[in-house]
Amino acid sequence: MSVDTAAAVAERFRELYGAEPEGVWAAPGRVNLIGEHTDYNDGFVMPFALPHTAVAAVSRRTDGALRLHSADVEGGVVELRVEKLEPESDRNWTAYPSGVLWALRQAGHAVTGADIHLASTVPAGAGLSSSAALEVVVALALNDLYDLGLKGWQLARLCQRAENVYVGAPVGIMDQTASACCEAGHALFLDTRDLSQKQIPFDLAAEGMRLLVVDTQVKHSHSEGEYGKRRAGCEKGAALLGVDALRDVAYDELDAALDRLGDDEEVRRLVRHVVTEDQRVEQVVALLESGDTRAIGPVLTAGHASLRDDFRISCPELDLVVDTALADGALGARMTGGGFGGSAIVLAEASDVETVTKSVEEAFAAAGFTAPRVFEAVPAAGARRVR
């Protein structure tokens, strides 16, 4: 995010609210390298931050008013009262920033209001965590302005609560933690049970590779039913197996666990995905740490097959990206994020990027799909104050 962007967001704040903002903050979207639908099973994930950010110019208020404006949505300033914020009362974009204020106040923090202007470059509905970026940027701004002293992982927990309870979407903790805690040049190996973290250096360019993000432009939403159904199915699996979460089913005990699930085919598929996906995250970490980066390709591709066949959350556009990229020599490819649309990632040799991109675009045109948006992703910084 450039200095110019921060200055432009501050300038717009001045126009809207007639005063200089107390500060400007930025929080990124993310792509997840591996570890999908494991976060609400207490498992492992490995996201990294995108250069695309939600930027917020913010000032405190002491009169209980919360004034919100977004450069990305039609309409003027929305004014709310902090003491009247009610879970699931708001179906608009404003639910994300207000939900954060609500969660902070619920946790006992004396946040007495704010003026906020937001502008985001994270594509919405693309599986790249545009909502988490909005939540985290507001949480970080209020944390700094109200001197709350909360750490990144604590802000992530509050943002998740805002999204679960206030917005009403049953998401896990990955996206908020990625936005709050990622570091430039690294992927974040996160244990979602205790939020312990390890920053893993991830510099593909130095090894002659690239990671492409292909936004299929098929929009999805987590408050719709399918995400919640998968989550409920996983919880049912854990209950049937007598464990707290599917994280507790060891990979080498998977077959025995599946036998115990009997003929509940749907739960068996969900359990198989989660247990093998946790194993894939650990494999990718081991390969990256031993310098065998190219070998992560087939692991990513195996993750896609598991999400497509066992978890059943892919779609024709995502499958087409993966199949086309692999046919053109990509090292690995998979859908990323919640699924049912959104984005896929492709790991490719730098020399193959142009061919792979062209083939994917041509395959989409031939299938009659909306043209995808393709860009290269390099791990960027997590949430921070920019002005």
Residues at the binding site are: 36-39, 70, 125-131, 163, 227
Binding status of residue 43 toward ligand GAF by CB under 6 A: no
Which residue's entry shows tokens 């003929």?
263
Name the one range near ligand GAF by CB under 6 A: 12-20, 33-41, 76-84, 202-210: 33-41
- According to the binding rule CB under 6 A, does residue 337 interact with ligand GAF? yes
Q: Is 152 in the site for ligand GAF (CB under 6 A)?
A: no
CA distances from 74 to 70, 251, 382 (A): 8, 49, 28
Q: Which of 42, 90, 115, 175 is the catalytic position? A: 175
Distance separating alpha carbons of residues 258 and 312, to the nearest angstrom: 18
Give whichever of 69 and 231 is closer to ligand GAF, judged by the CB atom: 231
Q: Phi/psi at 85 (nearest 5 deg)?
A: -65, 130
Residue identified by tokens 């977004």 is 70
Alpha-carbon distance of 174 to 192, in angstroms, equals 7
Q: Whole-number minimum distance, CB 222 to ligand GAF, in Å?
A: 6
The reply on whether position 338 binds ligand GAF by CB under 6 A is: yes
Measure the CA–CA gap between 385 and 387, rounded to whole angstroms.
6
Q: Which residue among 152, 172, 297, 303 contacts ligand GAF (CB under 6 A)?
A: 172
Neighbours of 224 (CB within 10 A): 11
Binding mask of the shown chain, residues 175 to 214, with x at each position contacting ligand GAF by CB under 6 A: x---------------------------------------
Sequence-separated contacts (24+) of 360-366 with Cβ below 8 Å? 360/214, 360/320, 360/321, 360/324, 360/325, 363/320, 363/324, 364/317, 364/320
Which run of H or E residues covers position 345? strand 343-349
Does the active-site annotation cover 175?
A: yes
Q: Of 34-42, 103-111, 148-156, 297-305, which part binds ligand GAF (CB under 6 A)?
A: 34-42
Segment lying near ligand GAF (by CB under 6 A), choices 145-153, 168-176, 242-250, 278-286: 168-176
Counting contacts by CB under 6 A, is residue 39 touching ligand GAF? yes
Nearer Cβ to ligand GAF, position 186 or 230?
A: 230
Positions annotated as catalytic residues are 175
The site for ligand GAF (CB under 6 A) is made up of 32, 36-37, 39-40, 171-172, 174-175, 222, 337-338
